[in-house]
């Protein structure tokens, strides 16, 4: 079978290779084998390839934090899924044609779900949902500000916030996405820059904003902080600038702004297995009825992983890059 292996940590398209390896063994007791239908190339996967992600396993290493698959075989004692079922995998190393994993690590998703969206269900939808529920106890009608608003997570934040009666100020780096984000439900869109707070005050009529969601980091963290009411909270969950979040003394000390960090795994770990299953069931249902959606720019076969990685790192994409390791979708 084909699999993506990293020969070293470095420039993603240089170190990632599509290689031929032995097929996975038949599933043992309590295990499942599934065919990978599609996986996205997420910023965290790119960071994994460069060696800057929090996990850096011995080489050769296979990236892939999420995927959608179809169960091919189950081992003895597996009652939760059967061959033919669609599953997402809570384990990593999914950039391959086939995976063999413990059955407890796969979650069945409904037949008929959009496969492209299901390939992106595991990480970004729960991230958006929990960023809006687990950091600040927001009340309907309140404003939230976020940067990277045109990202998959950012768009999901807009949709989920709208459904919860929250209003969003969406900070982006290019104004050609204003129209699309507004159509999605964004209440205000603003360009990032040194005078961000003035634009946000104008856009919200001076509303007191208690939560700022940041995935740019660096100085962008302080710019988001400057838009918050006193004692507000910035939650940083990504670093698209490649820098650590910076919070000025003025924001931290004089205005009492707090800085919190979000990592999906840490916040899921606070929930029981049943609660996690219920969260994914709700989000899968949302995908099924088209209530949440992340645009897809392009889809590549696994043999073209290098091109997929180059494209995923390019700015100005119109959505995610997906890879289909087996048949095209
Ligand atoms: N902590 C967690 O558990 C967790 C979970 C999921 C995602 N994340 C993080 O969330 C962020 C978004 O992920 P995603 O999958 O939604 O991303 P995505 O759909 O691949 O989009 C990436 C976005 O980043 C923007 N961008 C790229 N470089 C930038 C820069 N230097 N300054 C400002 N914006 C920049 C792009 O803007 P344009 O649209 O203008 O090109 C694009 O909107 C990433 O940092 C990711 O690591 C964290």
Q: Mutation test of ligand 1: which of 55, 121, 128, 151 has the most ligand atoms closer than 8 Å to its C-beta?
A: 151
Tell me, what DSSP letter sits at residue 116? H
Distance between CA atoms of 27 and 295, rounded to whole angstroms? 34
Q: Is the Cβ atom of 215 under 6 angstroms away from ligand 1?
A: yes
**Ligand 1 center–CA 11 separation, angstroms:** 18
27, exposed or middle or buried, with CB in 10 Å at 0-12, 13-18, 19+?
A: buried
Instruction: Give me the tens of pLDDT residue by residue for the chain, a chain 329 residues long.
Output: 999 999 999 999 999 999 999 999 999 999 999 999 999 999 999 999 999 999 999 999 999 999 999 999 999 999 999 999 999 999 999 999 999 999 999 999 999 999 999 999 999 999 999 999 999 999 999 999 999 999 999 999 999 999 999 999 999 999 999 999 999 999 999 999 999 999 999 999 999 999 999 999 999 999 999 999 999 999 999 999 999 999 999 999 999 999 999 999 999 999 999 999 999 999 999 999 999 999 999 999 999 999 999 999 998 899 999 999 999 99
Q: How far apart are CA 314 and CA 259, in angstroms?
A: 29
Distance from C-alpha of 83 to C-alpha of 198, rounded to nearest angstrom: 56
Angle in degrees, CA 265, 269, 270, rounded to 5: 130
- The CA 120 to ligand 1 mean position distance, Å, reads 14
The rounded distance, in Å, linking the Cα atoms of 124 and 43 is 11
CA 43 to ligand 1 center in whole angstroms:
6
SS3 of 230-246? CCCEEEECCCCCCCCCC
| 151 Cα: distance to centroid of ligand 1 (angstroms) | 5
Q: Which two tokens stand for residue 161?
A: 């916030």
Nearest to residue 230, comparing CAs of 254, 266, 195, 247? 254
Contact criterion met (CB below 8 Å) for 279 and 129: yes
Class of domain 2-122+296-324: alpha beta
Which positions are catalytic?
A: 53
> Which of 49, 90, 92, 215 has most ligand 1 atoms within 8 Å of CB, for mutation?
215
CA of 173 to the centre of ligand 1 (A): 12
Q: Which of 153, 174, 193 has most ligand 1 atoms within 8 Å of CB, for mutation?
A: 153
User: What ranges do the domains of the chain cover?
Assistant: 2-122+296-324, 135-261
Please tell me the CATH superfamily of domain 135-261, with its number: NAD(P)-binding Rossmann-like Domain (3.40.50.720)
Distance from C-alpha of 29 to C-alpha of 159, rounded to nearest angstrom: 41
Could you tell me how many residues make up the chain? 329
CA atoms within 13 A on the CB side of 63: 32
Query: Does residue 150 line the site of ligand 1, with CB under 6 A?
Result: yes
Q: Cβ(158) to ligand 1 under 6 A?
A: no
């Amino acid at each position: 079978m084909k699999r993506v292996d990293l020969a070293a940590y470095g420039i993603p398209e240089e170190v990632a290779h599509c290689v031929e390896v032995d097929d996975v063994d038949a599933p043992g007791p309590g295990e499942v084998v599934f065919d990978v239908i599609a996986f996205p190339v997420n910023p965290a996967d790119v960071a994994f390839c460069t060696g800057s992600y929090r996990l850096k396993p011995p080489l050769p290493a296979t990236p892939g934090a999420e995927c959608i698959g179809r169960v091919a075989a189950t081992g003895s004692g597996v009652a939760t899924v059967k061959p033919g079922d669609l599953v997402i995998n809570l384990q990593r190393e999914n950039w391959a044609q086939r995976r063999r994993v413990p059955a407890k690590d796969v979650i069945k998703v409904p037949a008929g779900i959009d496969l492209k969206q299901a390939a992106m269900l595991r990480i970004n939808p729960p991230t958006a949902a929990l960023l809006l529920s687990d950091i600040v106890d927001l009340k309907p009608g309140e404003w939230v500000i976020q940067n990277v608003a045109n990202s998959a997570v950012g768009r999901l934040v807009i949709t989920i916030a709208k459904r919860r009666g929250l209003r969003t100020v969406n900070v982006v780096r290019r104004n050609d996405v204003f129209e699309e984000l507004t159509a999605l439900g964004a209440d205000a869109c603003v360009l990032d820059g040194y005078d961000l707070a003035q634009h946000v005050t104008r856009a919200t009529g001076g509303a007191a904003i208690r939560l700022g969601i940041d995935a740019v980091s660096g100085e962008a963290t302080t710019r988001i902080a400057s838009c918050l009411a006193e004692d507000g909270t910035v939650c940083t969950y990504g670093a698209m600038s490649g820098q650590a979040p910076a919070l000025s003394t003025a924001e931290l000390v004089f205005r009492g702004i707090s800085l919190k960090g979000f990592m999906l795994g840490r916040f899921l770990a606070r929930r029981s297995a049943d609660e996690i299953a219920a969260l994914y069931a709700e989000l899968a249902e949302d995908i099924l009825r088209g209530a949440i959606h992340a645009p897809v720019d392009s889809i590549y076969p696994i043999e073209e992983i290098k091109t997929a990685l180059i494209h995923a790192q390019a700015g100005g994409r119109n959505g995610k890059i997906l890879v289909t390791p087996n048949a095209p979708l």
